[in-house]
Structure 1
Amino acid sequence: MAPSTSPQQPVELDAVDRRIIQELVDDARISNALLAQRTGIAPSTALLRTRALIDRGVLTGYHAEVSLQGVGRSVQALISVRLRAHDRVQIDRFTQTMPQLPEVLSMFHVSGATDYLLHIAVSSTEALRDWVLDYLATDESVGHTETTLVFAHHKGLGGPLPEQLPSIPATR
């Protein structure tokens, strides 16, 4: 699938669209025949509906999920970054450079006292220290960083919200 840009406005999704999206979120490698069976539509309809979701910018790509521990990157961290000055040239350089570094899993531009939040994965705490020193502490545009180790990562759903949210029992 060619990458698509996300729509600027929310797209109208019917129950079939939502079911297709949820099935693809659960298993992006599902065959079209099985997708059609699980959504209760013809295979030709499943294919057309999926292509329409791509064309409308709702589905933006598929990816392989890699075990970070399995590839030797078992130490994850969230690094808060505050820039020294909010100069457009430095901001553009920072936002173009950081996501291209292989250790960076995600970068978020956030509000508040922090300007950016980086999610990185490296092989060891020593590698984490060196990465912060090499790429952040020595960067003239970076004024302050704060590193938080990630002990566990629990993924959320990632698909569209259901028409009606299930009730969650109160805990005491």
Structure 2
Amino acid sequence: MAELTLDKTDLHILKLLQASGKLSNQDLAEQVGLSPSPCSRRVKALEDAGYISGYATLLNADHFKLALTVYIQVRLEKHSTAILEAFEADIALYDEVQECSLITGSEADYYLKVLVTDMQQYKVFLLDKLTTNAHIAGINSSFVLKKVKSSTAIPLP
């Protein structure tokens, strides 16, 4: 990746694209005070330097009746590289898992964020998928009652 020093205009471009990745280059250029060609070159440079890792469409989970968010703490029986890699490979196969993080500072080894329609679907996920991993020593589930804040944007200076 090419080295790039960000200026105020680059940061403004990144903030606008985080808020709405569907902005046309024309609209983006107008909002940052550039003509379209220089704006397009800056966006390309940000992509090439790795500041922009991709583009995605965020879907509204409510329209798919995915109403239950569960945070699951998973504790493994052992911490060998092979067991960690096997667990992570299994988790990567489950569409219900939105996030999986290896953590420290807790009795758990992993935090999972799981999105399902209801408690019945969660039960199926838990019993038919997650607990089939022989290396899991413990699971603790917490259910989201209210989503206070949800963002895909990272904080920029």
TM-score normalised to the size of structure 2?
Answer: 0.90
> SS in structure 2 opposite 1:94?
helix
| One of 84, 87, 94 as aligned partner of 1:94 | 87
Instruction: Give the conservation status (yes or no) of the 8 Å contact 2:15–2:156.
Output: no
* 1:43-122 correspondence to structure 2 within 5 Å: 43-112=36-105, 113-122=107-116
Gap regions ≥5 residues in structure 1:
163-172
Structure 1 residue runs of 4 or more that deviate by more than 6 Å after TM superposition: none
* Aligned counterparts of 1:139 and 1:97: Cα–Cα separation in 2: 8
Shift in alpha-carbon separation, 1:63–1:157, aligned structure 2, 3 A: closer
How much is the aligned-residue C-alpha RMSD, in angstroms?
Answer: 1.9
* 1:86-165 correspondence to structure 2 within 5 Å: 86-112=79-105, 113-153=107-147, 154-156=149-151, 158-162=153-157
TM-score normalised to the size of structure 1?
Answer: 0.83
* Aligned counterparts of 2:130 and 2:154: Cα–Cα separation in 1: 34
* Segment drifting more, 134-143 vs 53-62: 134-143
Matched, 1:33 2:26: yes
Instruction: Give the conservation status (yes or no) of the 8 Å contact 1:104–1:121.
Output: yes
Instruction: Give the drift of 1:160.
Output: 4.0
Between the two proteins, the alignment pairs up a number of residues equal to 155
* Segment drifting more, 30-39 vs 97-106: 97-106
Instruction: Give the drift of 1:152.
Output: 2.7
* Segment drifting more, 28-37 vs 107-116: 107-116
Shift in alpha-carbon separation, 1:86–1:159, aligned structure 2, 3 A: closer
Q: Deviations for 1:33-59, whole angstroms, at most 9, x for unmatched residues?
A: 010000011111111100111111110
Shift in alpha-carbon separation, 1:123–1:97, aligned structure 2, 3 A: same
Instruction: Give the drift of 1:107.
Output: 1.0
* Aligned counterparts of 1:77 and 1:83: Cα–Cα separation in 2: 19
Instruction: Give the drift of 1:161.
Output: 2.2
Aligned residue identity for 1:140:
A
* Aligned counterparts of 1:118 and 1:95: Cα–Cα separation in 2: 11
Aligned residue identity for 1:150:
V
Aligned residue identity for 1:55:
D
